[in-house]
Structure 1
Amino acid sequence: MTQKSLSKRMKLIIVLLGLCGAALFGIAVPVIGVDLVDSYPEFSYCFLPWLIFILLMAVPCYAVLVIAWKIATSIGNDNSFTELNSKRLKNVSLLSLATSTYLFVGTTVFLLLSMCHFSMFLGACLVSFVGIAISVASAVLSYLVKKAAALQEQSDLTI
């Protein structure tokens, strides 16, 4: 597989993830929320805070997609191992960690305010754990790309 084809496939996946996110955040979450309010009107006071909370989580998710697009572009341009890509991966790590923390803290607050069922809290803990795993993997990749960039720079200077 060439770097150009890898870059194109990465970009296709990024676009598909963006569309799935738009469907989830723009359609599914509001529709499910309205349906829950119709079924359980006693919880209608929870709808708007939860909707805002969930929609705010979309911002860092799309920021990561933008960063991933830039990484895919640099891979297509045969610039895979660069200091810039290392910084981008570090930013992905930080965004993932921040989003996971936001989810955990927010769900904990909703639980303490009796606006969240304990099973939802457990689910949020699981999602937060996955986000932290992504954060760690991105940080490790950032470190490895930084090391590879230094090696590549040394190699380019000796030739």
Structure 2
Amino acid sequence: MRKSGASLESVPELIARWSAHLGLVVEVKAAPSGDEEAFPNRLAISGPDAGRFAADRGVALDALQFLVHEAQGEREDQKLAYLDVKGVRLFRMQEVMAMGRFAADRARELGSHTLGALSPRERRWVHLVVSREEGLGTESEGTGTFKPVKVFRK
């Protein structure tokens, strides 16, 4: 087990300090996602330089997310901070969960439906939304980081 580091409450100040060292002016505040089970502890990054983290498909935001998780030293989703800029990740969560509901409807109708390759977090969202549906199951298929998800009747 990893030793605990930065608390969830200290993460906004930590991000602002790291950003200031890079010459970036950002503000970080807690912002509920509307579905805390799927997207817990959402921290919204705003300010004049926040868009830099969203550039290039969010590569800098992914790197910052990794550093924050390392600083926190946690591995439980409910204790980790999850970063968002301009609502991009919140929108993606809502989009993927809608895809999961669509796949659930198709699986009820046809017996199964397979969604294209998704990242681990996106697959988790699909598994979560389908688990809330009666009589359906999910399964990730294949190998690698990005995998398809099959939704099927039990």
Q: TM-score range by the shorter chain?
A: under 0.3
Higher helix share: 1
> Normalized against structure 1, the TM-score is what?
0.27
Say which structure is richer in strand. 2
Higher relative contact order (CA 8 A, sep 6+): 1
